[in-house]
Chain A
Amino acid sequence: MKDLLEWIVNIGREKGANYVEARYQKFFSTRIEVRDGKVISATPGIERGVAIRSLVKGGWGFSTTNDITKEGLLKALENSIKIARQASIDTEPIELAPAPIVIDKVEVPVKELLEEIPISEKIKVLLEADKAARNVAPNIKATSNYRDYAEEKIICTSEGTSIEIKNSWIFFGIWAYAREAGLIQSYRDRFAMLGGFEIIGKMKISERSKKAAEKALKLLKAKPAPGGKFTVVVNGVLAGLLAHEAIGHASEADSVLRGISVLRGKIGEKIGSEHVTLIDDATIMGRFGSDVYDDEGVRAQRKVLIQNGILKGYLTNRETANKLGLPLTANARAQDYRFPPIVRMTNTYFQPGDMTFEELIEDIKYGIYAIGGRGGQVSSAEGIFQFGAQEAYLIEHGEITKHLRDFSMSGFILETLKNVSGVAKDFDIYPSFCGKAGQSMRNTCGGPHMKIEEIIVGGRA
Chain B
Amino acid sequence: MKLIEAVSFAVKKSLEMGANQADAYASKSSSTSIQATNDKIGGIKDRRATSEMVEGIGIRVAVGKSIAYAYTTILEEESIIKSIKEAIELAKLKEPDPDFKSLPPAKTPTSVHKIFDKNILTPPIDEAFEEIRTILSETMEKNPNFNTIVSGYSFTWIEKAIANSLGIETSFKESFIGTTVYIIAEKEGIRCIGGKSQNRRMLNEINIKLCQEEAIKYAELGLKKAKIEGGEKTIIFQPRAFVSLMGYGFIRAIDAYNVQEGKSYLTNKINSQIAPESLTLIDDGTMDGGLRTTPVDAEGVPSQRNIIIEKGVLKGYLYDSYTAFKENKESTGNATRQFRSAISISPRNQIISGETMKLEELIGDVKEGVLIRGVMGAHSTNIATGAFSVSANPAYAIINGEIVGTVRGCMVAGTFQELLSKYAGQGDDVEQISFLIAPSIKFERVRVSI
Chain A residues proximal to chain B, CB less than 8 Å: 31, 35-36, 38-49, 59-66, 76, 79-80, 83-84, 86-92, 119-120, 123, 141, 177, 179, 183-186, 224, 227-228, 257-260, 262, 338-340, 374-379, 381-388, 406-408, 410-412, 456-460
Contacts and interface: CB of A to CB of B under 8 A. Distances in A.
A393 B82 CA distance: 53
A87 B409 contact: no
A86 B125 contact: yes
Contacts of A39: 94-95
Contacts of B37: 258-259
B414 interface: yes
Chief secondary structure at chain B's binding surface: strand
Given A184-B384, A227-B413, A63 B42 contact: no
B150 A260 contact: yes
5 contacts: A62-B49, A84-B49, A89-B47, A339-B52, A379-B376
Given A59-B48, A384-B393, A377 B376 contact: yes
B440 interface: no
Interface in B209-253: 230
A186 B384 contact: yes
A36 B257 CA distance: 13
B413 A459 contact: yes
Ranked 4 nearest A-B pairs via Cβ: A184-B384, A458-B411, A259-B148, A388-B380
Interface in B356-391: 376-377, 379-380, 382, 384-385, 387, 389-391
Contacts of B413: 227, 406, 408, 458-460
Contacts of B71: 43, 45
Nearest to A127: B95
A192 B93 CA distance: 26
A387 B46 CA distance: 31
B377 A408 contact: yes
Interface residues of B, number: 78
Interface stretch (B11-19, B72-80, B110-118): B72-80
Interface of B: 32, 34, 36-37, 39-40, 42-56, 58, 68-74, 79, 82-83, 86, 89-90, 93-95, 97, 125-126, 129, 133, 147-148, 150, 184, 191-193, 230, 261-263, 340-342, 376-377, 379-380, 382, 384-385, 387, 389-391, 393, 408-409, 411-414, 447, 449-450
A382 B393 contact: yes
B69 A42 contact: yes
B359 to A, nearest CB: 25
Contacts, number: 235
A459 B449 CA distance: 8
B336 to A, nearest CB: 14
A338 B36 contact: no
A117 to B, nearest CB: 13
Contacts of B377: 375-377, 386-388, 408, 410
B385 A386 contact: no
B342 to A, nearest CB: 4
A92 B51 contact: no
A310 to B, nearest CB: 20
Interface-centre pick from B34, B43, B191 (highest chain A CB count, 10 A): B191
B409 A381 contact: no
A119 B450 CA distance: 51
A456 B413 CA distance: 12
B263 A406 contact: no
Nearest to A29: B340
A257 B86 contact: no
B93 A460 contact: no
A244 B63 CA distance: 45
A379 B182 CA distance: 13
A184 B385 contact: yes
Contacts of A374: 380
A412 B191 CA distance: 11
Contact of B53 (A65, A86, A186): A65
A35 B344 CA distance: 14
Given A63-B51, A141-B261, A410-B411, A258 B150 contact: yes
A89 B387 contact: no
Given A42-B68, A123-B93, A411 B56 contact: no
B47 A87 contact: yes
Nearest to B377: A386
Nearest to A226: B449
Contacts of A86: 34, 49, 125-126, 129
